[in-house]
Amino acid sequence: MRFTLLMWPGGGMAWYVCKRLLQGVLTVWFIATATFFAMHNVPGDPLLNDRAMTPAIRANLEARYGLDQPLLNQYLIYLGNLARGDFGISFTQENRQVNDIIREHFPVSATLGILAVVFAAAGGVLWGALTALYRNRLPDYLIMFLVILGISVPSFVVAALSQLGLVSLNNLTGRSLLPVAGWGSVYHMLAPALVLGLSTMAYLTRLMRSSMLEIIDSDFVRTARSKGVPPALIFSRHQLRNAILPVVTVLGPQIAVITTGGFVVELVFAIPGLGRFFVEAVQQLDYTVIMGTTVFYGAFLVFMVIVVDLLYGVIDPRVRLQ
Amino acid sequence: MNPQPAPARFSVLGQLALYALYTVAGLVAIVWLLGLAAGSTGSAVTGGAIDTGNNAITIALRTEPPQLDYGRATDSISLTVLFHTVEGLLTYDDNMALIPGVAERHEIRGDGATFWLRGDARWSNGEPVTAHDFVFAWRRVQDPATASAYAFIMYPVKNAEAINRGELPPEALGVRALGDRVLEVEFERPTPYFDKLVAFVTFYPVNEAFFQSTDGRFGASADMLLYNGPYVMNEWIHSASMRWDRNPDYWGGHKGFIDTIHVGYITQDVNARLNLFKDGQIADTQLVPQMLGEAMERRWQIDRSMDGTVFFLQLNFRDGRLTANKNFRKALLYAQDPVEFVYKALKEPSYMPAVSLFPFWIRGAEGYFRQEHPPTPHEYNVAKAREHLELARRELGLETFPPIHLLADDSPLGSISSEYYQAVYTRNLGLELRIDKQIFKQRLAKMDAGEFDIVVSGWGPDYDDALTFGDLFSSWNLNNRGRYASPEMDALVRIAQSELDPVKRMAAFGEIQDLVHEDVVIVPMYERGWSFVVDPRLKGFKRRAVGPEVDYTYARIDGRAAD
C-alpha cells in the first residue's frame, strides 16, 4: 500500500528526504491543531475540583494557565510555544514542565519498549518462519493457537496473570527470583517487556507466516531449488529476506507505539513511563499534558514511518531501482 | 554443488537455530545496555517490606504526589508526603489530637491568636524556623499570582480574601512576626477553630531565602524543598520512588522511629499493590472487597478505618426542580435504606451506613459530637414515603411525575450508587430515574450549573473540626451546589463559625444536623472507609480521616512479631 511513496524520484535521495520531512511537519501541525480544538470541546473544566472555587481563586488560576484569553489567542500562543519546543506546565502536576515530564518518562518507556520490540521482532520472525516450515503440522497448529491467544487476550489480563505468576514463583521458591513490580534494573524489565511485546509478537508471527508461505511457492524459489542451491541458503537468501519486508513495514510504527509506553503494563508493574500520562491526562483534562504527549507521539510516529520508507531501499534493492 | 549430507529440513532448521542463537546473544547485549540505562531512571529497592537490620521499610503510594508546593497542594497524597516531611505550627498525635509542632504554645482570642515558636525547630539547611517564615508563606498563599486553590481556608485571617481578590497588597495580611519566635494573627471574624486550621498544609512555613533560590520550582523535586518534619526527603524520582530518611535535627523524640522509609512503588493498580504485599515487598496495602476472601484464607489481620468522607445524594433546591418540594424530598428520604445499600449493594465492610451530614468521628465539646448530639435515626418506611409523594404530587399539581435526573460519576462506585437508587426509587415510589453518568470533572461542572435533580456526591474534611462539614449548606458556600438556602441555617452557621464557648458552638452544630435532616437537604448514603492489611512486624501504622491518608510517623518495627 505504501509502494507509491517508496519511489525515490529523479531528484535524488536528499530531495526525497526533504519532501518527506516537510510532509511530516505538516502532519504534526495538523495533529496539534485537531487535538487542541477537540480537547477544548470535550465537556468538563480542567480547573474544577472537589472544592468549589471563589471567583477570585478561579480568576487567579485561569490567568496562570492563560485560560482567560479567547480560544483563538490561546491557540496562537500555543503554536508559538510549540515552535519553540515549549509545551507549558501541567495542570495536575502543577509545578512540572510538560517538557520535563516527557524528558524524564519517555526514556523509561523507550527502554522498556526497545526490549519489547526486540522480543516481538525476534520472536515473530522465528516463530513465523517455523510455522511456515511446518505448515499444517503439529508445531504450526500449536504456535498458531498461541498466536490467536496472544492477539485476542487483552494486555491487562496478561499483565495481571503474569504478575500473579511471578508472585507464586517467588513464594514457591522462597526467594525473589524476579521482581513483581518496580523499576531500576534489568530484572524489573523482563516480565513487563514480554507482556508489552506479546501482542506485537503474535501479530508479526502471523504476518511472517503468511508472507513466507507466499514466497515458498514463488517462481524464484522453485528456480533456486532446481538449480540445486542448498535449502539453508534458499531459506536465508531468498525466502527470509523477501518475507521480512512486510514485517519491517509494520515494525516501524509499532516501535513508536510500544516505546511511548503501554498504560496497562506501566500501571500493573509500577513503571514510571510515559504511557500512564496519555490516559490520566485525558481523564483529568490536563490540557498541556494532553497536547504535549499527543504532539510528541504524533511526531515520533511520523518520523518512524519516514525511517521505514528509507529502510525499504536498503532491504529491497528493487525499490531503489525504481 | 555438493549434495547435502543432512536432510534438507534439518539444515533450514539449523539456519533458523543459528539466527535464534544470534538473537539470544543480541538480546543479552541489549538487556545489559538497557540495564545501564534503567539505573539512572529508577532505583531498585532491595530490602523488602521490612528491613529489620537497617530499621527501614518499603511502602507503595497510590499516585505520584502532584503538588508538593504546599501553598498550592490540595490532594491527599501530596498531603501524606508533606505530613511526614514538613511541620506547621501544630500537628496531630497518633490519636488525632492536636499537639504542639513548631509552636510550643498558643492562645486563641476573639480577635486573633498568638503562637509562641520553639527555639529548636530547624530547617534541613540548618536555619531556624522563625515567625517570619510563616508570615512569608501565608502572604504568598493569598497573593493572586500564586493561584492557590486552597487560599479560601485562610480567609478567617484579616484581609486575606481582599488580598486574594487583588484589592489589597499581600503585606496587608493580618499576620505579623514579633521577633523570630512570636507570631501574631489578627482575625477577620472570631475563629475559635483556628488551631485546627494551622495544622493544614496551606499554613506551613516557607523559608523566604530558600524559596527565592528555587526560581519558581519550589516543590518540584526533592532538593527544591526544605524540611522541618520528622522525615527528610532525600530522593524523589518522579512517578517511580522516594526515600524519606529520619530527620536527625527534628526537635521532638515523639515521632519518626524508622530510619528510612522507601516509597518503592507508585501505582494506582490496587491488585499490583496486593501482589507486592504478597511478595513481601511492601509493608501495608489496601484491600478492596474482592480481595477479602483471599485475605481471610491467608489469615491476615484485616484492619479497618474511616477515610473521613461522607457520601450523600445532594438534592437540587433551584426553582422548578421537583426536589425543591419538601414532601418530595421526604419521600426520597424514607423510601431508601442506607443499611441495605452498604451491606447488600456495596459489600464493603469498612463502609458505614450514614445517618447524618456529620461523620461519627467528629469531636464535640468533650467527647464525640454525635454522642453529645445524637442524629435522628433513619426511618425506612415505604408507606410513609408514598404518603409524602402523594402530598408532593398534589402540591405540585401533577398528574404523574416526570423523569428524575440523577447525576453521578462514571467511577465503579458512582455506577453502583446510581443504579441502586434508581432501582429503589422505581420499586418503592414508582418514579422514573434517568442516570446521567459523567467523568468526574464534568459531573462537577454540571453540579455547578445545577443540571441535576439528584447528584451522587461526597464531602471530605479539610481540618478536624465539625465546621468542615457544618458550613457546607450555608447560602454563601460555593460547595452548596444544590443551592439550599435558609436564613435559619445561615444564622446557625454564623454561630458555629464564631462562638467561643465550645458547648454553645457544638449545640449550634447539633441544630444544623437536625435542620439538614428536617429539610432533607441531603439523603445520607455512607461514611467511606478503608480495609487494609499491615505486615505484622510493623506497629503503630495509622490511616487517617483528616489530612494525610497514611501515617508512618508513629510506626516502628517490632522484629519479634515475625512468626
Residues of B whose CB is below 8 A from A194: none
- How many A-B residue pairs are in contact by the CB < 8 A criterion? 242
Strands B302-315 and B352-353: unpaired
Paired residues of B303 in beta bridges: B532
Q: How far apart are CA A251 and CA A157, in angstroms?
A: 24
Q: Is residue A5 part of a domain?
A: no
Paired residues of B285 in beta bridges: B533
Residues of B whose CB is below 8 A from A160: 271
Q: Distance, in angstroms, between A213 CA and closest chain B CA?
A: 15
- Which residue does chain B place closest to A62, by CA atoms? B147
Residues of B whose CB is below 8 A from A107: 37, 41
Q: How far apart are CA A270 and CA B275, in angstroms?
A: 11
Query: In this predicted model, what pLDDT tens digit does every residue of A120-171 receive, in sequence order?
Result: 988 998 899 889 888 889 989 999 999 999 889 988 899 999 999 999 998 8
Phi, psi of B193 (to 5 degrees): -95, 20
Q: Is residue A4 part of a domain?
A: no
Select the residue of B38, B218, B275 nearest A185 (Cβ to Cβ): B38
- Which residue does chain A place closest to B11, by CA atoms? A232
How many structural domains compose chain A? 1
Q: How far apart are CA A208 and CA A247, in angstroms?
A: 7
pLDDT tens sequence for chain B (563 residues): 444 444 445 467 777 777 778 877 887 777 777 766 665 565 555 678 999 989 999 999 999 998 999 999 988 999 999 999 999 999 999 888 899 999 999 999 999 999 999 999 999 999 999 999 999 999 999 999 998 989 999 999 999 999 999 999 999 999 999 999 999 999 999 999 999 999 999 999 999 999 999 988 899 999 999 999 999 999 999 989 999 999 999 998 899 999 999 999 999 999 999 999 999 999 999 999 889 999 999 999 999 999 999 999 999 999 999 999 999 999 999 999 999 999 999 988 899 999 999 999 999 999 999 999 999 999 999 999 999 999 999 999 999 999 999 999 998 899 999 999 999 999 999 999 999 999 888 899 899 999 999 999 999 999 999 999 999 999 999 899 999 999 999 999 999 999 999 999 999 999 999 999 999 999 999 999 999 999 999 999 999 999 899 999 999 998 654 44
| A184: region left, alpha or beta (phi > 0 left; psi from -120 to 50 alpha) | left
Q: How far apart are CA B533 and CA B549, in angstroms?
A: 15
Q: Distance, in angstroms, between B433 CA and closest chain A CA?
A: 23
Interface test with chain B among A114, A185, A208, A229, by most B beta carbons within 10 Å: A185
Report CB contact under 8 Å: B445, A54.
Answer: no
Q: Is residue A98 part of a domain?
A: yes
Select the residue of B164, B216, B438 nearest A56 (Cβ to Cβ): B164
Select the residue of B20, B35, B217 nearest A186 (Cβ to Cβ): B35
Query: In this predicted model, what pLDDT tens digit does every residue of A61-97 receive, in sequence order?
Result: 888 888 888 999 999 999 999 888 888 888 888 778 8
Question: pLDDT at position A114, please?
Answer: 86
Expressed in percent and rounded to 5, the helix, strand and coil fractions of chain B are: 35, 20, 40
Residue with the bigger pLDDT between B117 and A117: it is B117
Q: Residue A112's closest CA among A175, A150, A159?
A: A159
Q: Residue A312's closest CA among A270, A251, A261, A268?
A: A251
Contact between A111 and B38 under an 8 Å Cβ cutoff? The reply is yes
Q: Is residue A41 part of a domain?
A: yes
Report CB contact under 8 Å: A272, B42.
Answer: yes
Residue with the bigger pLDDT between A4 and B418: it is B418
Residues of A whose CB is below 8 A from B23: 122, 126
Residues of A whose CB is below 8 A from B479: 51-52
Q: Which burial class, exposed, middle or buried, applies to A227 when counting CB atoms under 10 A from its CB (0-12, 13-18, 19+)?
A: exposed
Q: Residue B263's closest CA among B388, B81, B525, B133?
A: B81
Q: Is residue A274 part of a domain?
A: yes
Residue B52: enclosing H or E segment and its boundaries?
A: none
Cell 475540583, residue? A49
Expressed in percent and rounded to 5, the helix, strand and coil fractions of chain A are: 75, 0, 25
Report CB contact under 8 Å: A51, B149.
Answer: yes
Q: Amino acid letter at B352?
A: M
Q: How far apart are CA A163 and CA A160, in angstroms?
A: 5
Residues of B whose CB is below 8 A from A231: 4, 8-9, 11-12
- The DSSP code for A44 is S
Alpha helices in A53-185 (DSSP H): 55-65, 71-83, 98-133, 138-152, 155-173
Report CB contact under 8 Å: B41, A183.
Answer: yes
Q: How far apart are CA A302 and CA A254, in angstroms?
A: 12
Q: Which domain holds residue A172?
A: 11-319
Q: How far apart are CA B188 and CA B193, in angstroms?
A: 13
Q: Is residue A1 part of a domain?
A: no
Q: What length does chain B have?
A: 563
Q: Is residue A158 part of a domain?
A: yes
Q: How far apart are CA B431 and CA B389, in angstroms?
A: 10
Phi, psi of B357 (to 5 degrees): -65, -30
Contact between B130 and B151 under an 8 Å Cβ cutoff? The reply is no
Q: How far apart are CA B336 and CA B353, in angstroms?
A: 12
Q: Distance, in angstroms, between B383 CA and closest chain A CA?
A: 36
Interface test with chain B among A104, A140, A162, A183, by most B beta carbons within 10 Å: A183
Residue A226 CB neighbour total at 10 angstroms? 8
CATH number at residue A79: 1.10.3720.10
B40's grid cell: 539512572
Q: Is residue A6 part of a domain?
A: no
Give the burial string for A83-117 (b: 16+ CB within 10 Å, else e). eeeebbbbbbbbbbbbebbbebbbbbbbbbbbbbb
Residues of B whose CB is below 8 A from A114: 30, 34
- Which residue does chain A place closest to B281, by CA atoms? A180
What DSSP line would sit under B477-526, residue for residue? -TT-TT----HHHHHHHHHHHH--SHHHHHHHHHHHHHHHHHTT-EEEEE
Signed CA dihedral, A226, A227, A233, A234: sign only: negative
**A313 to each of A13, A237, A245, how far by Cα in Å?**
10, 17, 11
Contact between B160 and B91 under an 8 Å Cβ cutoff? The reply is no
B197's grid cell: 486550621
Q: Which of residues 145 through 204 in chain B touch A, CB cutoff 8 A?
A: 145-152, 161, 164-166
- The DSSP code for A175 is S
What secondary structure, in 3-state letters, does B194-242 show? HHHHCCCHHHCCCCHHHHHHCCCCCCCCHHHCCCCCCEEEEEEECCCEE
Q: Which of residues 39 through 98 in chain B touch A, CB cutoff 8 A?
A: 39, 41-45, 48, 60, 64, 66-67, 69, 72, 74
Select the residue of A93, A105, A271 nearest B66 (Cβ to Cβ): A93
Q: Distance, in angstroms, between B82 CA and closest chain A CA?
A: 15
pTM value is: 0.88
B538's grid cell: 510493623
B9's grid cell: 529440513
Non-local CB neighbours of A73 within 8 Å, separated by 6+ positions: none
Non-local CB neighbours of A4 within 8 Å, separated by 6+ positions: none
